[in-house]
Structure 1
Amino acid sequence: MSRKIREGLLMLISIVLLATGGTILYRQLLPSSAVKADGAKSGGQLSVRHAPEPKADVQGRFPAQSVERYAFSQEGKDLFSLLVARYQDSIGLPQSAVLFPKDAQEIASSPTGLRHDIWQSAADIIARKAPENALFLSWWDDGQRIHYLSGKEAWLRKPSDKTFVGPVWKALQDSLPVASDEERARLAQMARWLTMDSEKALSEIAAHFGASRPVYLLVNNDLLLHLAEFTAYGGTSLSLDSKNIPAGNDLHGDIALVKRWAFEAGDGNYLAQKEGNYYRVWSTPDAKAKNTLLVRLLPFIDSLKKLPKGVSLVYQSHWGGFLSVYKIDNQPIH
């Protein structure tokens, strides 16, 4: 493929990223404030109300014992909802999974319904095509979704105390089983891998798990909202810049503004998602951050040009490649 064609394809992908995005979830862009329970409203605080949800509305690989909806709002305005499904795994141990509700697209400011569809499609592919003994590496909340929706094993599925600093996770704390000492060590290790040099991280991952079972990495753009959490668990603090750029009526003009800012903030490498009437754009002014595993596996413009050694892309969702699955050691799902 010629360089000119390849650059054209990358630009097309960047247009898709800009044109088909939606509000980033978990609202870490909001002021840090305590969650007020049971629908209480106060100033700029993030409020939450929760109520039981019909179990039949949640489809997974395990029967849900109960489902709870957590609806978040601020100053009386609905923002987004999350579901927590409680279930038992194959050996009878209690588990929980944070899920995106299907009907959330009705809330214009929060396209969790789109994330629901993306996860359902990805989980179906994983369930049908990944080997029975496949192991999936991801962050803990994605691990919950992998396990519940596909039935495949996820290395991380439980958070620890460092997660419950933010208002959203604090509101869900009582519904989520907490990590054991062994699982806390895994959280620290995964945070370290995601924030270290990509090829070094992949070499360590391959050595850690060996060749006894196929190992996959699942990443998505929402991982950028966990940067502070990665650092809290011992990962390297990543120097990524971000900015909200107002959206206009001219997509090409919007892209030009995004690219101009990306070059002003760094070397022009960026990832963008549309959030209502503006774009949330991330750039990598620091060369070390640009080469980390997290950035190299997400659809930043420069990351799309070449994968790091040691992985192959085996699945990628729509919505500009929001969710991707990689196989360690270049052994794709057949």
Structure 2
Amino acid sequence: MLAWFAWLWFSPGSPPYRYQLAEEGPASKFPQLGLEAWPDLILARYEVYTEGVDQPLATGHVARRGQSAPVLLDWENRTSELLTSLDSKLPELAALSAAIAKHAPQDALILAWWDTSRQINLLSARDTLFKSHVGEPLIAPAMWRERTDAIRAYENKFWGAVPGDDERRKFQRFADALLAEPQQGAAILRELAGTREAYIAIHVTDLYKLGLMRPSQFDITYKNFPMEGNMHGLIGYLKQWMQDNTFITYTLQSLNDKMVRGYFLRDPKSSQTLVAQMLPFTQSQPLDLQALQLIYQQGGYWVYKIPGGKDAQADAPVQSTPQSAPPSTPREPAPAAPAGG
């Protein structure tokens, strides 16, 4: 690690990491990814390296169609620090995209965080409000904060698809919606969607990204916990840790068979935001949300129909059980089943 810090000190204008191509080819070259339904994609696996460290800090798969800009499909951080993206599971994304392609009308509009939007646009062939690599928030260890400009320049060059001012403005408005109380937030989402039939897809990792973007409005933190013993023991430990650190509610994300990540909110205002009410915190129940209509759940993804638009008269009441969701959403949130499990 000393070599790493020395390199950072003497190279203030350089990004502190690099993406290194490990392998590339069609979907048939990556059978373990389960992307046979998208044979036209060119896939690649990248590893993230920094000077002085032999092992990759993170790894992820990207995809592109033709000469289009690459889109990140999944990500695995291999250090205690989060680097450029949060951990995600490709099987969950593939299932979500296939469901959208099957059930969402061709002219529907999908709203989601910009990274999820690009994934859905690529895999489901449905229009999304965000199509560019917005790059907000910047996810980097504290020791890299002085390299922000270099990191942003490197990210823009690698991913391409740099957004214009209008898309950046709309993304900030999207964040406004997630941080508003549910009815107001739903109204902002409808404002962004116009008159089109529209849906919003939220992933549990959006919580932390929103907290990084708007720390004064959304007080959230995370902590990883090993999956040892039974779930009841883990829940008991989570509750005690939450109380000891003065948090009021939490939800979980399954990282793998051996690890879960808890996301914790500290204040009542944060817990009453639209985004918190859309996800299964201990003090929220997505099936009870009236501002939006829950229609689908897959792993860490929750999909809602946005009321209003040209089909306002045809909006159905909220179903008691969303498609692909469990029969009931427990008050004590359980982590999503590990991919492939």
With structure 2 as the length reference, what TM-score do the two structures score?
Answer: 0.68
Is the CA contact (8 Å cut-off) linking 2:248 and 2:268 kept in structure 1? no
Match of 2:201 among 215, 218, 243: 218
Aligned residue identity for 1:296: Q
* Larger fraction in helix: 1
Instruction: Please name the residue that 1:126 is paired with.
Output: 100
- Aligned residue number for residue 115 of structure 1: 89
What residue identity is the alignment partner of 1:251? M
- Tell me how far 1:157 sits from its aligned partner: 2.1
**1:190 counterpart = 2:168:** no
- Residues 246 and 151 of structure 1: CA distance in aligned 2, closer, same or farther (over 3 Å): closer
Q: Given the alignment of the two structures, is residue 50 of structure 1 paired with residue 30 of structure 2, yes or no? A: no
Matched, 1:257 2:237: yes
What's the CA shift for 1:255?
A: 1.2
Which residue of 285, 292, 317 maps to 2:298?
A: 317
* Separation of aligned partners in 2, 1:119 and 1:208: 24
The CA distance in 2 between the partners of 1:267 and 1:228, in whole Å, is 15
Question: What are the equivalent positions in structure 2 for 1:130-279 lying under 5 Å apart?
Answer: 130-160=104-134, 162-163=136-137, 166=140, 172-174=155-157, 175-210=159-194, 212-227=195-210, 229-231=212-214, 237-245=217-225, 247-266=227-246, 268-274=248-254, 279=260
Q: Which amino acid aligns with 1:54?
A: G
Give 1:206 shift. Answer: 2.4
Q: For residues 140 and 257 of structure 1, what CA distance do their matches in structure 2 show?
A: 34
| Cα shift at 1:280 | 2.8
Q: How far 1:204 sits from its partner (Å)?
A: 2.3
Which residue of structure 2 aligns with residue 69 of structure 1?
Answer: 45
Total equivalences in the alignment = 278
Moved more, 295-304 or 275-284: 275-284
Provide structure 1 residue ranges, at least 5 long, that are not aligned to the other structure. Answer: 1-32, 37-44
Structure 1 residues 169 and 198, CA, compared in 2 at 3 Å: closer, same or farther? farther
Read off the aligned partner of 1:50 and give its amino acid letter. L
Q: Percent identity?
A: 22
Q: Distance in 2 between matches of 1:307 and 1:97?
A: 34
Q: TM-score, normalised by structure 1?
A: 0.69
Q: CA 1:77–1:275 in structure 2 vs 1: closer, same or farther (change >3 Å)?
A: farther
User: Against the structure 1 CA distance between its residues 263 and 121, is the aligned structure 2 distance closer, same or farther, given a 3 Å change threshold?
Assistant: same
The alpha carbon displacement at 1:220 in A equals: 0.8
1:62 and 1:140 map into 2 onto residues whose CA distance is 24
Q: Does 1:297 align with 2:281?
A: no
**Larger relative contact order, structure 1 or 2 (CA cutoff 8 Å, min sep 6):** 1
Q: Describe the SS at the equivalent of 1:238.
A: coil
Q: Residue 189 and residue 180 in structure 1: after superposition, are their counterparts in 2 closer, same or farther (change >3 A)? A: same
How many Å separate the matches in 2 of 1:215 and 1:137? 7
How many angstroms apart in 1 are the aligned matches of 2:216 and 2:177?
Answer: 9
Gap runs ≥5 in structure 2: 8-15, 145-150, 308-314, 324-341
Indicate if the aligned counterparts of 2:26 and 2:39 stay in contact, CA closer than 8 A: no
**Secondary structure in 1 matching 2:91:** helix
Contact kept? 2:287, 2:294, Cα under 8 Å: no
Shift of 1:248: 3.6
Aligned CA distance change for structure 1 residues 312 and 273 (closer, same or farther; 3 Å): same
The 3 A distance-change label for structure 1 pair 203 and 172 is: same
Distance 1:70 1:229, change over 3 A: farther
Between the aligned partners of 2:301 and 2:135, the Cα distance in structure 1 is 27
- Once the two structures are superposed, what CA deviation does each residue of 1:196-243 show, in whole Å capped at 9, x if it has no partner? 222211122224434x32110101112134135533xxx863112433
The Cα shift of 1:305 comes to 6.1
Query: 2:163, 2:88 → 1: CA distance?
Result: 29
CA distance in structure 1 between the partners assigned to 2:23 and 2:230 by the alignment: 43
Shift of 1:131: 0.9
The alignment partner of 1:326 has SS state of: strand
Query: Cα distance, 1:301 vs. partner?
Result: 2.1
